[in-house]
A = this chain, B = another copy of it.
Amino acid sequence: MLTIGSLGKKTGTKVQTIRYYEQIGLMPEPGRTEGGQRRYGDTQVDRLSFIRHSRQLGFPLEAIRELLDLSDNPDRSCHEADSIARRQLKQVELRMDRLKALRTELKRMIHECSGGNTADCKVLEVLRDHSECLTDHNAIGA
């Protein structure tokens, strides 16, 4: 049986984060010692690894909750898991597109800056006037 600290080390998760996952019901309440400290078994290690890996792939916690649920029911159709993953892929691609536009614009504004004083700084000028932009960028909400 592992302490919360060892579980954390094993899965690359901060102790606080594990407790947070428990609090929001993503991790089950573990057994406790007589003194009230948490102790974890292999099942929990697997579950936390699953969560962490999903987070690394950018899945939001709510999606992970669904994925865990599917994983707990081996007889259910794979279709849902697939569609959650596809949704996530769409999100990633959307964000990539946005970032690409940002990069273009940032590069351009840096490139065109001649380095005088701020009065005729191209960077500031572009920020002041959206119409100078060539791309349809919008990072808000990305």
A50 at the interface (CB under 8 A from B): yes
- Which of A1-9, A18-26, A30-38, A71-79 forms part of the interface with chain B? A71-79
6 of the cross-chain contacts (CB-CB < 8 Å) are A56-B130, A57-B137, A74-B117, A75-B119, A76-B118, A82-B123
Give A contacts to B, CB under 8 Å.
46, 49-50, 53-58, 67, 70-71, 73-79, 81-82, 84-86, 88-89, 92-93, 95-96, 99-100, 102-103, 105-107, 109-110, 113-121, 123-124, 127-128, 130, 137-140, 142
A84 to B96: give the CA distance in the assembly, Å: 22
> Given the complex, which residues of B lie within 8 Å of A118, measured CB to CB?
70-71, 73-78, 81
Known: A77-B117, A81-B123, A99-B99. A57 touches B89 (CB 8 A): no
Excluding A46-B128, A76-B117, A92-B99, 18 further A-B contacts by CB distance (< 8 Å) are A50-B128, A55-B139, A57-B139, A70-B124, A71-B127, A75-B119, A77-B118, A78-B120, A78-B124, A81-B113, A81-B121, A82-B113, A84-B123, A85-B109, A89-B103, A89-B110, A96-B96, A96-B99
Q: Pick the residue among B89, B115, B124, B140 that contacts A107 (CB under 8 A).
A: B89
Q: Pick the residue among B56, B88, B121 that contacts A138 (CB under 8 A).
A: B56
